[in-house]
Chains A and B, each alone.
Chain A
Amino acid sequence: MTNKVKFEFAAIPENAALARVVVAAFITPLDPSVGEISDIKTAVSEAVTNAIIHGYNGNGNGNETAVTISMHNVSRQIHIEVSDSGVGIENIASAMEPLFTTKPEMERSGLGFTVMESFMDTVEVTSRPNEGTTIKMVKQLAGER
């Protein structure tokens, strides 16, 4: 079975929970393990939170900002893309370093990318300053149970 979903939402912190629910509902028909669902929800939560608080600097009110999630599956391989049209990332390599954060005053742990990389099979970042950021993540679900 192949399926795809694309959706867009305002860049406000409350919407990270909504994004997790939609992504979990998308993969549920493939009968993933509890651990796989939790890994994917956590990685999506990291990417979406980053779009909201870094991409749009926490100013994501109402209609002016949007985070887009587009996902599809190739058999049991899940592809998820999270994009924003925010400030972008100057230096992607250093942003992805464990513990690196540009907002230490906000109690950021700097572990978002580390979590995405450890919970997903691949994580690819494309970003341009002042244009936005896209995170592409792939995870292969274990064989049918």
Chain B
Amino acid sequence: MQININGKVLFATLDGELDYHMAEKFRTQLDAAFEKSACRHILLDMSDVSFMDSSGIGMVIGRYKKAELRGGRLVLAGMSESLAKLYEMSGLSKIVSRAATNEAAISMLGGPLV
């Protein structure tokens, strides 16, 4: 996983299979970086995530709550068809927005920040 700070947005590129084992690893790293930063929003680039189950959903909802505590939002970008299916059926789509690309996600979060 790679994490970059882009103004008020914590931008993380996830990869691999987002199951319970990996969700725990991502959670630890994301929380450490977010707490240390002054970011409000979290953008998760999912385009290299090849698998996700309900442990991944739990991890995403947990990070969404962290962003919400700072008055921010969480956006998922670049989900594959199978990830999108889980995103819809789990109801995650009702609380977390989704964007086709990272650029689209950044503009949903208030536009590019210099």
Could you tell me which A residues sit within 8 Å of B by CB distance? 13-14, 16-17, 20, 34-35, 38, 41-42, 45-46, 49, 52-53, 106-109, 111-112, 114-115, 118
Specify the main secondary structure of chain A where it touches its partner. helix
Closest to A116 in B: B54
Taking A13-B19, A111-B57, A112-B53 as known contacts, 4 extra A-B pairs with beta carbons closer than 8 A to each other, sorted by chain A number, are A20-B51, A109-B58, A109-B90, A115-B54
Q: Tell yes or no: B61 within 8 A of A by CB.
A: yes
Chain B residues engaging chain A, CB cutoff 8 angstroms: 17, 19-21, 24, 27, 51-55, 57-59, 61-62, 81-82, 85-86, 89-90
**Do B90 and A17 have beta carbons less than 8 Å apart?**
no
Contact of B27 among A41, A45, A107 (CB under 8 A): A107
B59 cross-chain contacts in A, Cβ below 8 A: 107
In the complex, chain A residues whose CB is within 8 Å of the CB of B51: 20, 38, 41-42, 45
